[in-house]
């Protein structure tokens, strides 16, 4: 009697294929339901290798920023808005900002040399510090921050950050001490502000996707120095929050 092995084999293949496809669907559903985090954003349609997956990753970022703007002024009375997504009190200032950091070692330098109405302002980071786990020791690369990213506050829209740093530093004005041991943060982001109007379109009305309200065709370098003391009249609620952003970015 002749036995037909073909039909059982086909049946086996179909069962295995079905099981694999079910498992894949389950896995995709788990990924879709995963909470937002600095490197996990539900709803994305493509992935990106993390720096650590690249065998040639040096962790060394050397970047300069130009076409700098100041949000508000140093002498603004309490009640100011130094986030100013509407760009109602944004002023161009001369100067340059330079960062040279090692993301792996959490070391390096950040300094901004600016000419503001009061004179020569220098902001310099003295030491990196991790204030939350997503900051990865004080210098982090290729993460999502702000908005609904699960990392940082929601003052700005969610953006992909190429590199960012957090820590403590100081500032001088005309060579004299202005601030000591204040918090400093810098971040190289996708384009949050419109190139021409400098406005941030956030929150974005009738938003159609989970992506952030940013323009991936542009980049900007934001940085600020803020006091430990708070003042609820201000936005953000600090006694001092001097905020600048550079609309021209040079990788070196």
Per residue in 62-106, pLDDT (tens digit) is 999 999 999 999 999 999 999 999 999 999 999 999 999 999 999
Mean pLDDT value of segment 102-116: 98
Cβ–Cβ under 8 Å, residues 97 and 63 = no
Tokens at 210, concatenated: 């989970």
Q: What is the pLDDT of residues 238-250, one digit of tens each?
A: 999 999 999 999 9
Tokens at 96, concatenated: 């340059």
Tokens at 193, concatenated: 């502000």
Q: Report how far residue 71's alpha carbon sits from residue 82's, in angstroms, rounded to the nearest whole number.
A: 5
Tokens at 51, concatenated: 């720096």
Cβ–Cβ under 8 Å, residues 164 and 220 = no
Q: How confident is the model at residue 12 (pLDDT cuts 50, 70, 90)?
A: very low
Q: Residue 68, class by beta-carbon neighbours within 10 Å (0-12 exposed, 13-18 middle, 19+ buried)? A: buried
Cβ–Cβ under 8 Å, residues 62 and 251 = yes
């Amino acid at each position: 009697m002749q036995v037909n092995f073909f039909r059982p084999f086909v049946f086996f293949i179909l069962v295995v294929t079905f099981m694999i496809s079910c498992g894949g669907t389950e896995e995709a559903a788990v990924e879709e339901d995963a909470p937002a985090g600095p490197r996990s954003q539900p709803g994305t349609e493509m992935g990106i290798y993390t720096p650590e997956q690249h065998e040639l990753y040096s962790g060394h970022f050397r970047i300069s920023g130009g076409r700098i703007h100041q949000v508000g002024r140093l002498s603004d009375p309490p009640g100011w808005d130094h986030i100013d997504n509407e760009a109602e009190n944004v002023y161009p200032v001369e100067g340059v900002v330079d960062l040279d950091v090692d993301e792996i070692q959490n070391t390096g330098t950040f300094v901004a040399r600016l000419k503001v109405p009061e004179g020569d302002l220098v902001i310099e980071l003295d030491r990196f510090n991790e204030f939350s786990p997503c900051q990865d020791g004080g210098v982090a690369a290729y993460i999502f921050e702000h908005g609904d990213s699960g990392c940082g506050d929601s003052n700005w829209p969610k953006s992909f950050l190429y590199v960012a740093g957090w820590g403590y530093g100081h500032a001088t004005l005309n060579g004299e001490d202005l601030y000591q041991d204040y918090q400093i943060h810098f971040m190289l982001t996708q384009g949050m502000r419109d190139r021409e109007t400098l406005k941030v379109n956030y929150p974005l009305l009738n938003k159609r996707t989970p992506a952030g309200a940013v323009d991936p065709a542009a980049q900007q370098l934001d940085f600020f120095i803020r006091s430990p003391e708070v003042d609820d009249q201000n936005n953000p609620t600090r006694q001092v929050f001097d905020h600048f952003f550079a609309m021209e970015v040079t990788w070196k």
